[in-house]
Each structure stands twice: as C-alpha cells, then as structure tokens.
Amino acid sequence: MVNMFTLMTGQAGRSGFGSASTAEQVTRGIDASNLTAIITGGASGIGLETARVLALRGAHVIIGARNMDAAKEAKQLILKDNGSARVELLKLDLCSVKSIREFANDFLLRNLPLNILINNAGIMFCPHQFSEDGMEMQFATNHIGHFLLTNLLLDKMKQTAEATGIEGRIVNLSSIAHRHTYKGGIRFHKINDKSGYSDKRAYGQSKLANILHANELSRRLKKEGVNVTVNSVHPGIIMTNLMRHSYFLMRLFKLFTGPLIWKNVPQGAATTCYVALHPNLEGITGKYFVDCNESKPSSLARNEKLAEKLWDFSEELIRWASAK
C-alpha cells in the first residue's frame, strides 16, 4: 500500500528517495552512455520527462509515439535542454497489432542494442470503445499492446544482455488503481462486453494486468537464467494528458485533496527512472515500486495462477487479432 504519511511529507524511504524526489535527483551521477532505451508514450507527460532524463544521463533514447508531430516537438524540447542528446522517434500505436509489429521491425532493422524497455504509454477512464483490432480500448492499449511489444523485443534484450554483460531492465507503468478492478481481477470471459463496463474498473483491470505481466515475465526469465529484470511502478498522481477523459473530475478531486497527494511531472517520472537506471536495483525483479521504494501490491497482483492465466489469454487475444 501507499504510505500516506511519506506521500504527503515527501519523507525518503529505504532507498534514500521518496515522493518528493525528482527524476534528475534519483539518477544523479549515473552514466547511461552505454545504454539504449525504448520509451513508449515519450512525447508528453512523465514519458517525456523520463526520455529527457535518460538522455541527460547519456542514454540513446528511442521514443515510440502515436502522434509524430507531438513527438517531434518533444525531441526539440529535449535537444534544447541537452544539445548532445541522442533521441530518435518511431511511430507506435499501441492499440494496433499491425503498428506494434511495424515498430518492432523498424527498431530491429536498425541493429541497435536494447538495454531498457519502459512500457509507459496508456489511456485512462475512456468510454467503452474498441481498438482497431476489436478489443476493449483500455485493455488493448495499456496491457495487450505492451505485452506484444515486449515479446517482440525480448530476444533483442536477451542478446544485448548476453553480449554486453549489462543487465537488461523492463519497466511496466502500473498504478495504485490496480486495486480498483472488477471482481476476480480480469473479466476474461467479458473482456469486450459493454454490459457491466466501468471506465474506472476497466482502467484498474489494465493496470492490474501490467503488474501480473511483469511478475510472470520475471518468473519466466529467472527460470531461463536470463540477465533481464522486470518490475512495475506506480508513478503517483499527476495531472497530465492521461486524464483527458476525466479532466473535470480530476480537477475537482485535486481541489478537495489539495496539493499534498499530487506530484509534479519531474516527481512523477522519478520512480520509473530509478527502477530503470539505479545500480541499487541490480538483480531486483518481479517487484512493485512506489515513490522509488519497493511496495506491496494487491493480493490479486501477487496471484501467480492469475498471472499465468492472463499470459495465456493475452497470447490467444493476439493470435485472434492477428488472424483477422
């Protein structure tokens, strides 16, 4: 659970960092010049800040973005801050299996190493709608898209880790909202049904899936003896474009809660950057982090059988979408 006292006070946890820490602070002194990172949704919000800070630490950053105009503006902002930044842009629409495959192929054709994959992009609280492939939009974008992308890039990450001796890291952005989902966690038999659909619970379902995916992949990689870790994070509550479907509700919530539980964007990117880069996390895998410290997710998120079932279900959905 999130510790409300440390959240509101910014008090540092065991890592030495807390809710008030920024992405620059948690990566200070880290040299990432030998690393290549992919960040989905790096054109705005905490994704952009994550891309900026990783580039600031020397990493070669590839931003996967649906809106290429916004991505170009984001790249210019990064270069304005750091003229020597290595930043590339690739088109990526996570609600399209075709686009995800094209993105992966485009990246692999560049014959670059891949040390870090940050599954950051997402949508939140949208009304019931379908993706290009006929899947419920929040589940398709937030989970299935990243599940497929990770699988397509996994061999490259394994090869890079083996060739360089540098640990690979995968970071899934989840949310405290993973605790507010449907009964049983995932509506396997009603994943696309409009009946009973709740925009809030559907979001929670997708964020639960992010943790389950990270945990199951972590278990599989450990069994293989692969030098790649997989963790999930809750970035905090930040007012970004992610909240466009619930802007007025969130503004009202912020008005009543005040600034105490809210983070700014540099603070919101801190946990992602910490888990992606900090040497203290070497060998740590299958964990969930809040405010740059390991935290305990819900019992559903820790359910190994549920994670295995979700993995098989996700593969089946992708096969179904790819055959259309």
Number of residues in the chain? 324
Look over the chain and give the mean of its residue pLDDT values, rounded to a whole number. 92
Give 12-29 pLDDT, tens digit per residue: 999 999 999 999 999 999
Q: What band does 260 get if pLDDT is binned at 50, 70 and 90?
A: low
pLDDT at 5: 47
Could you list the active site residues? 197
Cα dihedral across residues 206, 207, 209, 213: positive or negative: positive
Q: Structure tokens of 264?
A: 């700014």
Instruction: Look up the CATH number of domain 4-322.
Output: 3.40.50.720
Contact 212, 301 (CB under 8 A): yes
pLDDT at 245: 44
DSSP, res 185: B
Region 118-136: mean pLDDT is: 96
Q: How far apart are the first and last CA of the chain?
A: 41
pLDDT at 259: 53
Region 79-90: mean pLDDT is: 97
pLDDT at 261: 64
The answer to whether the predicted template modeling score (pTM) of the entire model surpasses 0.85 is: yes
Q: What band does 243 get if pLDDT is binned at 50, 70 and 90?
A: very low
Give 93-120 pLDDT, tens digit per residue: 999 999 999 999 999 999 999 999 999 9
Q: Is the pLDDT of residue 160 over 90?
A: yes
Measured CA angle at 257 (ends 253, 261), to 5 deg? 105
Residues 286 and 125: their CA atoms lie apart, in Å, by 27
3-state secondary structure (DSSP) of residue 118: strand
Share of the chain above pLDDT 90, in %: 88
Q: Structure tokens of 150?
A: 């990770």
Give 52-71 pLDDT, tens digit per residue: 999 999 999 999 999 999 99
Residues 9 and 28: their CA atoms lie apart, in Å, by 22
Domain ranges of the chain: 4-322
Question: Which of 150, 276, 266, 135 minimizes the C-alpha distance to 206?
Answer: 135
User: Higher pLDDT residue, 308 or 261?
Assistant: 308
pLDDT at 216: 98
Query: Pairing between strand 228-234 and 86-91?
Result: unpaired
Q: What band does 11 get if pLDDT is binned at 50, 70 and 90?
A: confident
Question: Which of 117, 65, 70, 109 minimizes the C-alpha distance to 91?
Answer: 65
Q: Is the pLDDT of residue 2 over 60?
A: no
User: How many other CB atoms are there within 10 angstroms of residue 323's CB atom?
Assistant: 6
pLDDT at 248: 55
Residue 248 makes CB contacts below 8 A (sequence gap 6+) with none
Residues 60 and 80: their CA atoms lie apart, in Å, by 16
Residues 149 and 92: their CA atoms lie apart, in Å, by 10
Q: Structure tokens of 36?
A: 């290549």
